[in-house]
Chains A and B, each alone.
Chain A
Amino acid sequence: TQLLEQSPQFLSIQEGENLTVYCNSSSVFSSLQWYRQEPGEGPVLLVTVVTGGEVKKLKRLTFQFGDARKDSSLHITAAQPGDTGLYLCARRGSSNTGKLIFGQGTTLQVKP
């Protein structure tokens, strides 16, 4: 299956707290992308991870690709209200048409 399972679905935290969201699949994927979507907007790419075990940092966001390339995580340090949004992981479909398959997303609310 090419399904991506994200957890948790919803997360409500206070400003300054740390959090981790997960993206899992039963199958191996060649790469994984993380997107952030704000209300009324389209998804915006945050990062692409390609190599098993890879870690990428984007300011307070740390992205990790599992060694077996079946899972990924996004860790946010010292969350801020501006981090509020829907976080989506996505993988390429098996056909080479550029199609993206998305997880169901994690809705993050950071309260001041």
Chain B
Amino acid sequence: EPEVTQTPSHQVTQMGQEVILRCVPISNHLYFYWYRQILGQKVEFLVSFYNNEISEKSEIFDDQFSVERPDGSNFTLKIRSTKLEDSAMYFCASTYREMNTEAFFGQGTRLTVV
């Protein structure tokens, strides 16, 4: 069964460092998303991406965040200068269509900023 894969599964980084979280969406999907889940809190939308550009972003997705689809298969989330409060599970998701379709989530990357 096709699945969304994320690497690494766990990333520990020092405050102020840059991190890149990687995702390989399902191959025929066209819409890509990043969500995050701070421990004990709800899953929160960060950004949606279609046709090589951001289609929507949340207030959380400030100038420290960027997304890229560099090679037609990977979808990356970069945090330029990590803060302690960026510690969370980050989930990538993809869908075939924009609406009325199932979102497939990756297993997540646990980011710990120390």
Which residues of A from 65 to 108 have beta carbons under 8 Å from B? Answer: 88, 90, 92-93, 95-105
Are A99 and B107 in contact, with the CB atoms below 8 A?
no
Q: B75: CB under 8 A from chain A?
A: no
Residue of B nearest to A95 (CB): B56
Q: Considering the chains assembled together, what is the distance between the CA atoms of A54 and B7 in angstroms?
A: 39
Q: Are A41 and B41 in touch, CB under 8 angstroms?
A: no
Say whether A98 contacts B42, CB under 8 Å.
Answer: no
* Contact residue among A42, A93, A98 (Cβ-Cβ distance under 8 Å from B91): A42
Q: What residues of A have a CB within 8 angstroms of the CB of B31 in the complex?
A: 98
Chain A, interface SS category: loop
Q: How many residues of B contact A (CB 8 A)?
A: 28
Contact indicator A100/B45 (Cβ below 8 Å): yes
Is A11 an interface residue when CB atoms closer than 8 A count as contact? no
Complex Cα gap A101–B48 (Å): 13
Identity of the chain A residue whose Cβ is nearest the Cβ of B56 in the assembled complex: A97
Residues in A with CB closer than 8 Å to B43 are 43, 88, 90, 100, 102, 105
**Given A42-B4, A96-B99, 7 new contacts (CB under 8 A):** A42-B108, A45-B102, A88-B43, A97-B48, A98-B31, A98-B55, A104-B41
Q: Using a CB–CB distance below 8 Å, which chain B residues touch chain A?
A: 4, 31, 33, 35, 41-45, 48, 50, 55-56, 91, 93, 95, 97-108
